Amino acid sequence: MANIRMTVNGRQVSGVCDDRTLLVHFIRENLGLTGTHVGCDTTQCGACVVDMDGQSVKSCSILAAQAAGSTITTIEGLAQNGDLHPVQEAFKAHHGLQCGFCTPGMVMTAVDMIRRHGGNLDEETVRAELEGNICRCTGYHNIVKAILAAAAEMGGSRQAAE
C-alpha cells in the first residue's frame, strides 16, 4: 500500500491506496472528485486529462504513487470564487459540448494548449493538439471554436490552470 500526499486544486490531500492505483482512480475514489472521467484506461480518449505540475497529463497513464508530491489541478479546480474559467465559459458560450463526457478532458487540454501557445492559436493547431482527445458527439467544430474564442479572450496571457 502507498501513502500518497499531493496538492489537488490548491488543497493538501493524502490517502492510502494500492501501489498500482492509477491517478485517475485516486482522484475519483479517494478524493471524491468525479469530474475527471475514466473513458478507456489506455490513454486514447483524453477524458482523464488533468494538469500535473504545469503539464497536461492523462491521469489513466500515471500511478498515484508517481504523482506523490505533485500539484494537480482537475476540472473542479478551474473555476475560482464561483466564476468559470475563461475556457469553461467559452465551451458554454460556443456549445463546445453535447453529452459532456469528454468535456472535462477537452477543457483541461484546452487550458494547457492556451498556456503553451497563448493567443497564437489557429484552427489547424487546435485540431492537431486535440488529436489525443475523443469526442463521439460533436464533430469537434464547436470545441475548436470555443478554444479559439478562449485563446482570443485570454489575450495570449498564457493563463495557467490556477
- Residue 38 phi/psi, 5-degree rounding, is -105, 115
The predicted pLDDT at position 157 comes to 45
Q: Tell me the pairing of strands 2-8 and 71-73.
A: parallel
Give the residue from 77, 102, 119 where a domain finishes: 77
The predicted pLDDT at position 158 comes to 42
For residue range 112-161, list pLDDT tens digits in order.
Answer: 999 999 888 999 999 999 999 999 887 799 999 999 999 999 975 444 44
| CATH code of residue 29 | 3.10.20.30
What average pLDDT does the segment 25-43 reach?
A: 94
Q: Both 11 and 66 in a single domain?
A: yes
Q: How far apart are CA 120 and CA 88, in angstroms?
A: 19
For residue range 50-83, list pLDDT tens digits in order.
Answer: 999 999 999 999 999 999 999 999 999 999 999 9
The predicted pLDDT at position 156 comes to 55
| CATH code of residue 145 | 1.10.150.120
Q: pTM here?
A: 0.92
Q: Print the domain residue range for 22.
A: 2-77
Q: Both 97 and 66 in a single domain?
A: no
Q: Both 118 and 52 in a single domain?
A: no
For residue range 88-112, list pLDDT tens digits in order.
Answer: 999 999 999 889 999 999 999 999 9
Q: Burial of 81 by CB count in 10 Å (0-12 exposed, 13-18 middle, 19+ buried)?
A: exposed
The predicted pLDDT at position 161 comes to 40
Give the residue from 17, 52, 77 where a domain finishes: 77
The predicted pLDDT at position 33 comes to 98
> What number of other Cβ atoms are within 10 A of residue 28's Cβ?
19
Residue indicated by cell numbers 478551474 = 78
- pLDDT beyond 60 at 162: no
